[in-house]
C-alpha cells in the first residue's frame, strides 16, 4: 500500500513514521508512506497556502490551487482521496478495514477554518472525522487513520489473529487480559485462564467480551445485537 499525506506541518510526522509498528511495516515493504509539504505546491515567495474567506469571517481557508496541484501530482487511477474534516463520516473499524484493502490513500490534512469547497467537490472521494471534537488540524487524525489502517494490512502484525481479536473487530470490546504473576496484592488471575483448557478459556473470553461491552458501550449492543450464542450465555 502507498499512503501519501498532504500537510502544512510535515515535521509532525517524524515520530509517527519512525517508531513501533509503523516503522516495522515500512521496513518490511508492506507499506510506503509519503509526507508532502503543501507549501511545495505554492507559487509565491512567501509560500502562501491559505487566504481569507470570501464573505468575511474569522480564520483562514486553505487555498484551492496548491491542493489541486498536490493531489494531481500524486493521484493514480487506484487512488482514494480523503479529507480529514470535522464534518466527515465518523471513523470506525469497518471503515479502517475497507481502506486497508485500497492500493493508494491520499490523506489531506485540513487546517484553520477548512479547505476551499472546490477541493471537496472536485477532488475528494471521502471526508472522515475521528470524533465530535475540534483539533488544531488534520495531522493527528491522519495519523490515527493511517495507524488503524496499516495494522490491518496482512503481514504487518506478528500474529495474524491479533487484529481479529481486538476491540471493535466484531462489534464488541475486548475481554480482560492478565499476565504474570498469577497473584498480586491479593488480586488473583481468574482460575479458568490458568486451567489449560483452551475451550473453557475461549468461552470465558467471549462471555467477558459481551459483559464488558454491555457495561461500557451499550450503544454497540444496540448496533450489533446479541448472537444466539451470546443470548444463551
Res 142: pLDDT? 98
pLDDT, residue 170, reads 79
Give the pLDDT confidence of 20-56 residue by residue, as tens digits. Answer: 999 999 999 999 999 999 999 999 999 999 999 999 9
Please give the CATH topology (third level) of the domain spanning 167-232.
1.10.1270
* pLDDT score for 228: 86
Please report which helix (H) or strand (E) contains residue 90, including its range.
strand 79-90
Tell me, what's the pLDDT at 112?
82
**What residue ranges of the chain have pLDDT lower than 50?**
none
Cα 120-79-4 angle, rounded to 5 deg = 85
CA atoms within 13 A on the CB side of 11: 0
The predicted pLDDT at position 169 comes to 66
Domain locations in the chain as residue ranges: 2-150, 167-232
Torsion angle (degrees, nearest 10) of CA 140, 141, 146, 149: 140
CATH architecture classification, 2-150: 3-Layer(aba) Sandwich (3.40)
225: left (phi over 0), alpha (psi -120 to 50) or beta: beta
In the prediction, which pLDDT does 160 show?
A: 63
User: Residue 113: its pLDDT value, please?
Assistant: 85
67: its cell numbers: 491542493
pLDDT of residue 162: 62
End-to-end CA gap in the chain = 41
Amino acid at each position: 500500500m502507498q499512503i501519501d499525506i498532504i500537510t502544512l506541518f510535515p515535521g509532525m510526522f517524524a515520530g509517527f513514521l519512525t517508531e513501533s509498528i509503523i516503522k516495522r511495516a515500512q521496513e518490511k515493504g508492506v507499506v510506503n508512506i509519503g509526507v508532502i509539504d503543501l507549501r511545495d505546491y505554492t507559487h509565491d515567495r512567501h509560500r502562501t497556502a491559505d487566504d481569507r474567506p470570501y464573505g468575511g469571517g474569522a480564520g483562514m481557508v486553505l487555498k484551492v490551487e496548491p491542493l489541486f496541484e498536490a493531489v494531481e501530482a500524486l493521484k493514480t487511477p487506484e487512488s482514494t482521496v480523503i479529507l480529514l474534516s470535522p464534518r466527515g463520516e465518523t471513523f470506525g473499524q469497518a471503515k479502517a478495514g475497507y481502506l486497508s484493502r485500497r492500493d493508494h490513500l491520499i490523506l489531506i490534512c485540513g487546517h484553520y477554518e477548512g479547505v476551499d469547497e472546490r477541493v471537496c467537490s472536485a477532488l475528494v472521494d471521502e471526508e472522515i472525522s475521528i470524533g465530535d471534537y475540534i483539533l488544531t488540524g488534520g495531522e493527528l487524525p491522519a495519523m490515527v487513520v493511517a495507524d488503524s489502517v496499516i495494522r490491518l494490512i496482512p503481514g504487518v502484525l506478528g500474529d495474524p489473529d491479533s487484529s481479529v481479536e481486538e476491540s471493535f473487530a466484531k462489534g464488541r470490546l475486548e475481554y480482560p487480559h492478565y499476565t504474570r504473576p498469577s497473584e498480586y496484592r491479593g488480586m488473583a488471575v481468574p482460575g479458568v485462564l490458568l486451567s489449560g483448557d483452551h475451550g473453557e478459556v475461549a468461552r470465558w473470553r467471549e462471555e467477558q467480551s459481551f459483559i464488558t461491552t454491555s457495561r461500557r458501550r451499550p450503544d454497540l449492543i444496540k448496533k450489533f445485537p446479541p448472537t444466539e450464542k451470546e443470548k444463551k450465555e
